[in-house]
Chain A
Amino acid sequence: MTLHFTPVWFIAVPLLLAFLAPLWVRWRLLMPVLFSAQVALFALALSWIPAVRIAPILETIVIAPPLGIHLHLDAIALLLVALFSFAGAIITAFIWLDNGAAHLRERPAFILILLLIAGSNGMVLTGDIFNLYVFIEIVGVSAYALAAIRRDKTALEAGLKYLIVGSVAAIFILFAIVLLYLQTGQLNIAALAQAFSNMPAQMQLLIGLLMLIGLGIKAELFPFNFWVPDIYRGSDPEITALYSGVLVKAFLFVLFHLTFILLADPTVARNWLMALGAITMIVAELVALRQNDLRRMLAYSSLGQVGLITLALAFASEATTAGALFHMINHTFIKVLLFLLAALMLRQYASLKLTDVHGLSRTMPLAAGLFVLGALAVLGLPPLSGFISKLWILKGFSDVQTFWPVALILTAALIEAGYYFRWIRAFYAAPTDAASMAKMEGEKVLNYAPLLVIAGVLIVLGVAPFLLEDWLQQAAQALLGREALLNAVLGVQP
């Protein structure tokens, strides 16, 4: 019997493993299974590259499109699925090797993390808009529960806030989907794209606005991102690494995928989305300057980077899109690194307030060093990969003589330098009390292994960006290539 590898595996395997959780508990295999599942999915994604390079892969379930539900694996979907499983592997390896956070190594967390990965994969693969809603809700419910998984006051508060904001966002998305269906009688995204331009203009605007509110909340865009820092402050840093690294990226993809495919002419929404991205970036970076808690600072920094990615993606030129996708990858790695470091620091220090972490470099030299590396990568200093991705974005803008985003991005980088160095200075300052001078008990190098892997990736991608360049170009073309997608799915020229 031969096994056929199809795109549905990216969704089915995590779901199946999650439902078999009682078995893994009995065999004491919970963490190995969680980790190897992510590694296997990553390997699977890599094994698809040659095939996807030739043509996107469609898998139709039940009937022929537009009647059936289908999954669409093209270069961009493959890129994101690979990214999600890599980030997932790093985070689960960290949780596995770590001797803190026992509640993350039990069955509920195991199931929820797998559901989150399955849902995120589903969101980028699906070609059916109602399926998209179902995956958004799968991701949503597992994210709400993960936020509250520590079950103390702060975690429950974060979970409740996330749940309220997230369900309101889901209602707006559902409303837009309902209107789309009532107007066109279609649920297939490609078929919808064909019918979308025939709708009345007001209806298009209303659907666009509802989608923007719903996905804007989920993708943490200004002004819908007021809730983010609270959630990032209250949940476990390992979990926030998943949010910032996987969840937000999946929602950003959905937002831009729908924008580019539904609108025949994406320049209609270009200025609005670019403005939204620019405001998100500048506001978040300015607010980050004033944060006195490490996790809140990282949350605002994450928002700033999301704004930058939005700004570059919304411009809808191939060069900026490729740069934005590369920055998406880098940002995932950097934020996973920084949030996992925050998790390690939280073991040693009761709080991560600026005044409490003075002299951290004495007790946790490796952590402080990796933090500096992550900060430099966010700022975009060579030879780290953040430099290359920011360079591509800036080059993409300046090649077409659009200079205001360039100025804004550079200003944002300056502000970023301001607050990251504020923290680095605190880490390398003289400790305020002698008690915290003691070397951390049980600090194992093993804990740092996943973090060192990320650091290595950041450097490798910075030195050799050509490893990914082809793939990123293809992904950008796939994201922007409306005609090709319609053609592939419906078999007709739009």
Chain B
Amino acid sequence: MLEVLELFDRPAVLHSIYLIGSLILFFIGLYGLLAKRHLLKIFVSIEIMELAVYLILIAIATTPGETAPILSDGLTAFTGMSDPIPQALTLTAIVIGVAVTALGTSMAIQYHRLTGKVSVGEMTELKD
């Protein structure tokens, strides 16, 4: 039993699990984006796709046993720390994602107030 658990702790196995899980998440998001017509559901799908990309970055860039790249709690030297760049990138990307979603949601609310519509299928104002 313990061997099975240790097997899961190996970087290669762990990374594949994360990778498969994130890709499943990505395709769930993609499915939602293509199949759903409700504006908010589309935003949720976009967020899921984004999260999947962040997960891949963070999961693959760190291996078990690494410490956070922060000098505190008695740590004085950077030994065995994880790569800080992916985390900085992910934080930046999350902030950007939040901003875009907030803008989208506020526009969707305003659109709903003006027209009473919530579905992209009903957006026909711009067609000939």
Contact = CB atoms under 8 A, between A and B. Distances in A.
| A and B associate in one complex | yes
Could you say which of A151, A156, A158, A230 has the most chain B C-beta atoms within 10 Å of its C-beta?
A156
B93 interface: yes
A171 B107 contact: no
A158 B107 contact: no
A292 to B, nearest CB: 6
What secondary structure prevails in chain A residues at the interface with B? helix
A134 interface: yes
B103 A181 contact: no
Contact of B126 (A145, A148, A170, A230): A230
A160 B123 contact: yes
B53 A171 contact: yes
A335 B46 CA distance: 32
Interface in A157-216: 157-161, 163-164, 167-168, 170-171, 174-175, 178, 181-182, 185, 187
Contacts of B53: 171, 174-175, 178
A3 B4 CA distance: 65
Interface string B105-117: 0011011001100
Nearest to A144: B103
B56 interface: yes
B33 A157 contact: no
Interface in B70-128: 83, 85-86, 89, 92-93, 96, 99-100, 103-104, 107-108, 110-111, 114-115, 120, 123, 125-128
Given A144-B103, A182-B60, A296-B128, A171 B50 contact: yes
Interface in A109-144: 130, 133-134, 137, 140-141, 144
B107 A156 contact: yes
Contact of A181 (B85, B107, B128): B85
Given A153-B115, A163-B104, A181-B89, A234 B50 contact: no
A245 to B, nearest CB: 21
Given A178-B57, A182-B57, A156 B104 contact: no
A161 B103 contact: no
B62 to A, nearest CB: 11
A130 B42 CA distance: 26
B120 A161 contact: yes
A225 interface: no
A231 to B, nearest CB: 8
A477 interface: no
A293 interface: yes
A291 interface: yes
B89 A161 contact: no
A436 interface: no
B103 A141 contact: yes
B25 interface: no
A164 B123 contact: no
A348 interface: no
Contacts of A291: 128
Nearest to A296: B128
Nearest to A183: B60
A185 B61 CA distance: 9
Given A141-B100, A181-B86, A234-B126, A156 B42 contact: no
B99 A158 contact: no
A229 B128 CA distance: 11
Contacts of B115: 153
Interface string B34-75: 000001001100100110010011001100000000000000
Contact of A140 (B50, B100, B125, B128): B100
B126 A164 contact: no
Interface string A293-309: 10010000000000000
A342 to B, nearest CB: 15
Given A161-B123, A164-B104, A171-B53, 19 more contacts: A130-B89, A134-B92, A144-B103, A144-B104, A145-B103, A154-B126, A157-B111, A157-B123, A157-B126, A160-B107, A160-B108, A164-B120, A170-B100, A175-B53, A178-B57, A181-B61, A181-B85, A291-B128, A296-B128
Chain A to chain B: the 5 pairs with minimum beta-carbon distance, closest first: A230-B126, A156-B111, A178-B57, A137-B96, A233-B126
